[in-house]
Structure formats: C-alpha cells, structure tokens
Amino acid sequence: AQRAAAAPPRAQAVPGVKRIVAVASGKGGVGKSTLSCNLALALRLQGLAVGLLDADIYGPSAPKLFGLSGKPRLVGERMLEPLDGYGVKVMSIGFLVEESSAMIWRGPMVTSAIQQLLREVAWGELDVLIVDMPPGTGDAQLTMAQSTPLTGAVIVSTPQDLALIDARRGVAMFQKVEIPILGVVENMASFACPHCGTVSNIFGHGGARREAEKLGVPFLGEIPLQMEIRETSDAGRPVVVTDPGTAHARAFMDVAQKL
Ligand code: ADP
C-alpha cells in the first residue's frame, strides 16, 4: 500500500526530557520571564521534575528571578550542570557570560548559544523543561522554534491592543512551524488596590481571552497586576514559593494545572 508523505523533519529530541514547553511573547516587558519562573515552580510543586532554560540571551532574567548566582560546574568533558532554583534545574546565559558581552552577539551566535544551553547541559530526567523564549517573533525566535523539539508553546500577553497584535504574531509563528499552541495567558490583567480593594483594569481586561477565542486556541488564565509579584521577582524569591496561598500565586498554579 502507498504510504502517506513523510512528516517534516522534527528537531532532535533532548535525551531524558519528556516535554519541552516554550513560553513566548510578541514583545518584551509583558511578564514572559515572570510567568516562566512561576510556572516552572508551580509544576515542581505538583511533584514533577522540572527544568527552566532561560533562552532570552539578550536579557537573561532567570538568575535574578531565582536568586541565583555562581557558575555552573562542568560534568564530564563538556556538559554543564544546571543550578538549583527552589528544586527547579535552571540554566541561563547569565550564569556564563557578562550581560554586556552577550548583548553584542549576532543572530547565529545567539542561535548556537541557545542550542548549547539546550543540549550541553546535564538536565537529567525531566518531566518538563520550560523554555523562556527571547521576546518577539523575528528570525532568532523562528530558528529557535524550529531547532528545538518543542511540545508546545504558551503565549503571554497583556490585555492591551498593542501587546495583543504582537501575541497574534507569536501564535502565527508557532503555527507556521507546526508547534501546537498550548494556550494564551493574560498577564497584568486586573489590579486590586491594596488599600481599598477597588479593582482597576489598568491595561484593560479580557483582551487575551477574546483573542484566544478568535484564534481558536485555549485560554489558560489571567495573572493579576500585583505589587507582590514584582517585589518577590526582584528579590529572587518567587511568589509561588514564598507565598503560595495568595490569589496571585494560585493564578500561576491554575495555569500550570492546564499544561
Ligand atoms: P518579559 O520577560 O516579558 O520581558 P518580565 O517577566 O521581565 O517581562 O516582567 C517585566 C516587569 O514586570 C518585571 O519587573 C516584573 O517583575 C513585572 N511584572 C511581570 N508580571 C507582573 C505582574 N503580574 N504584576 C506585577 N508586576 C509584574
């Protein structure tokens, strides 16, 4: 019998790693790294073996978010050992080079750095590896999406029109390379005043949910705009670990449940 045409070649698997989930955004500053970090920790709290690869070469934030410094150790001849961030195995270019030197790397160097961070790190057995993608939808992101065996992608956006336009591009980019969209997350959704409790929608509200519906992809949830999220992130003590009982920590955990 005639066989169906072969599927397009997929990127080579990373041994021992069951699922690789990209967290992406159409532009910077929408909370992609904050979400990546707290999602990884929420999955860890579920009892999974979790890694986080900070692939944001030009603006690595995992060292700060997890409160980690120090250099990864070499295992064997050329494998690097990830650092331990609250039980999550973390690797970032920020552990390896000064930020100012990575800043001037050209595209191909960035691509090969990311591949090294993926394949020359002793991740061990992982149920899930979260990849904090470089922001945007340019060439670097496309190459990254193609050369990494991604199980799927989570797109994060604020409720604002402008951010949503970029998020739409992100969805289109992954669809183009046939990577499933696991869903869209709305970050910086509503703000509850800590003094009077009044809820304000500083960047609007519900935009990402509507957009997800329009695009026919799942909506995974909303993360409120919350001072404690920013403060704990800056302090390297992520809210999912330090204050898991709060509504905003639960918001991250609810998203993690759906992955
Ligand atoms: P990106 O990775 O998309 O560039 P970051 O995760 O670095 O964005 O977030 C940008 C800034 O916004 C950081 O200072 C972070 O602490 C803050 N931030 C992100 N999400 C929230 C939120 N839900 N509430 C308050 N501050 C947030």
225 CB less than 6 Å from ligand 1?
Answer: yes
In tens digits, what is the pLDDT along the chain, a chain of 259 residues? 445 555 455 688 999 999 999 999 988 899 999 999 999 999 999 999 999 999 988 889 999 999 999 899 999 888 999 999 999 999 999 999 887 777 777 777 888 888 999 999 999 999 999 999 988 888 878 888 888 999 999 999 999 887 788 888 989 999 988 999 999 999 998 888 888 988 888 887 888 898 899 999 999 999 999 999 999 999 999 999 999 999 999 999 999 999 9
Could you report the predicted ipTM of this complex, rounded to two decimals? 0.99
Helix (H) or strand (E) holding 118: helix 107-119
Distance 173 CA to ligand 1 centre (A): 23
Q: Name which residue sits closest to atom 17 of ligand 1, judged by CA.
A: 230
Geometric angle at alpha carbon 41, from 36 and 46, rounded to 5°: 125
Number of other residues whose CB lies within 10 A of the CB of residue 106: 8
Distance 129 CA to ligand 1 centre (A): 21
SS3 91: strand
Q: Name which residue sits closest to atom 19 of ligand 1, judged by CA.
A: 31
Express each pLDDT in 7-59 by its tens digit. Answer: 455 688 999 999 999 999 988 899 999 999 999 999 999 999 999 999 988 88
Q: Name which residue sits closest to atom 15 of ligand 1, judged by CA.
A: 230
Q: Name which residue sits closest to atom 6 of ligand 1, judged by CA.
A: 31
Question: Of 171, 140, 139, 143, which is closest to residue 155 (Cα–Cα)?
Answer: 171
Could you say which of 1.10.1040.50, 3.40.800.20, 3.90.1150.10, 3.40.50.300 is the CATH number of the domain covering 17-257? 3.40.50.300
Query: Is 69 annotated as contributing to ligand binding?
Result: no
Distance 92 CA to ligand 1 centre (A): 18
Query: Is 112 annotated as contributing to ligand binding?
Result: no
38 CB less than 6 Å from ligand 1?
Answer: no
Q: Which residue has the tokens 């990884």?
A: 40
Burial 221-235 (b: 16+ CB within 10 A, else e): bbbbbbeebeebbee
- The minimum-distance atom of ligand 1 relative to the CA of 248 is 23
Distance 225 CA to ligand 1 centre (A): 9
Give CA separation, 185 vs 25, 26, 36, in Å: 10, 12, 11
Give CA separation, 6 vs 3, 20, 143, 154, 178, in Å: 8, 23, 21, 27, 14
Q: Tell me the CA end-to-end span of the chain in Å, nearest whole number.
A: 38
